[in-house]
């Protein structure tokens, strides 16, 4: 008795079904990241891989004083490593906070890198030149509290040694060590109230020379009531 040949139509349908299952599985794996971070663009550090920003020349005028000492404000800093929130200290540093708020609302910080990262010390950004030499085009003078200690989480403004105590432009830093051991000469901005783990994640990408091992950028800074 001759064996009957399989129906070719059923063979074709079976092939199509197998292909469809494979395609769906591939889509699901792709959406889940396939067990790694390639889908999100994240690296082993937990930060997004981003291009190094190009230097920018900025020349802004000093803003009018609109922030009051009684204002309770926060700055939500979105970065390529996550976000952290700074509780702005308008009570003790109204002029410095006023400038920081102005620059944030103008989008000045958007796209700028953290150009100086030293593990156990500070994470510093806000320079449009990206090398520590730039600023907004103006400066603010406001001496910090005499008893200010630059402990972990404190946010202050950077300055050169030649500049007087309390002078600031746009560059700011977050202390990541227990105590930076700095004299009270750097204008106060506030303290990180949320997301200190994100700042510490950024700090891990630094070196003792201050040169980042991976580019980290400020994507956006939003000012909101605290």
Beta-carbon contacts of 69 under 8 Å, excluding residues fewer than 6 positions away, are 90, 91, 94
Residue 23 pLDDT exceeds 80: no
Beta-strand ranges (E) seen in the chain are 73-79, 82-88, 116-118, 122-125, 140-141, 154-157, 167-168, 172-175, 188-194, 218-225
**Given the DSSP bridges, would you call strands 82-88 and 154-157 parallel, antiparallel or unpaired?**
unpaired
Domains of the chain: 73-225 (2.40.100.10)
Largest CA distance in the chain: 105
Q: Give the separation between CA 32 and CA 161, rounded to whole angstroms.
A: 50
What is the value of pTM for the model shown? 0.81
Residue 35 pLDDT grade (very low, low, confident, very high; cuts 50, 70, 90): very low
71-84: pLDDT as tens digits: 999 999 999 999 99
Residue 144 pLDDT: 96
Residue 41 pLDDT: 65
Beta-carbon contacts of 90 under 8 Å, excluding residues fewer than 6 positions away, are 67, 68, 69, 70, 71, 72, 73, 97, 98
Q: Give the separation between CA 87 and CA 155, rounded to whole angstroms.
A: 9
Least confidently predicted of 9-18, 75-84, 184-193: 9-18
Residue 13 pLDDT exceeds 90: no
Residue 9 pLDDT: 45
110-151: pLDDT as tens digits: 999 999 999 999 999 999 999 999 999 999 999 999 999 999
Residue 45 pLDDT grade (very low, low, confident, very high; cuts 50, 70, 90): confident
Residue 1 pLDDT exceeds 80: no
Q: Are 115 and 212 in contact (CB under 8 A)?
A: yes
- Give the bridge partners for 221, in sequence order: 77
- Give the bridge partners for 141, in sequence order: 167
Least confidently predicted of 28-32, 89-93, 172-176: 28-32
């Amino acid at each position: 008795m001759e064996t009957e040949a399989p129906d070719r139509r059923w063979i074709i349908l079976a092939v199509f079904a197998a292909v469809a299952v494979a395609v769906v599985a591939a889509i699901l794996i792709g959406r889940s990241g396939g067990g790694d971070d390639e889908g999100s663009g994240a690296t082993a550090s937990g930060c997004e891989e981003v291009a190094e920003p190009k230097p920018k020349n900025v020349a802004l005028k000093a803003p009018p004083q609109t922030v009051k000492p009684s204002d309770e404000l926060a700055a939500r800093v979105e970065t390529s490593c996550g976000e952290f929130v700074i509780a702005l200290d308008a009570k003790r540093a109204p002029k410095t906070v006023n400038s920081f708020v102005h620059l944030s609302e103008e989008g000045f910080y958007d796209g700028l890198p953290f150009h100086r990262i030293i593990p156990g010390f500070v994470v510093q950004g806000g320079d449009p030149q990206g090398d520590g030499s730039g600023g907004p085009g103006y400066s603010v003078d406001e001496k910090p509290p005499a008893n200010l200690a630059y402990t972990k989480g404190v946010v202050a403004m950077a300055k050169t040694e030649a500049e007087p105590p309390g002078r600031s432009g746009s560059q700011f830093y977050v202390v990541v060590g227990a105590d930076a051991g700095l004299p009270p000469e750097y204008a106060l901005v506030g303290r990180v109230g949320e997301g200190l783990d994100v700042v510490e994640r950024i700090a891990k990408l630094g070196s003792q020379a201050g040169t980042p091992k991976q580019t980290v950028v400020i994507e956006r800074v939003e000012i909101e009531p605290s």
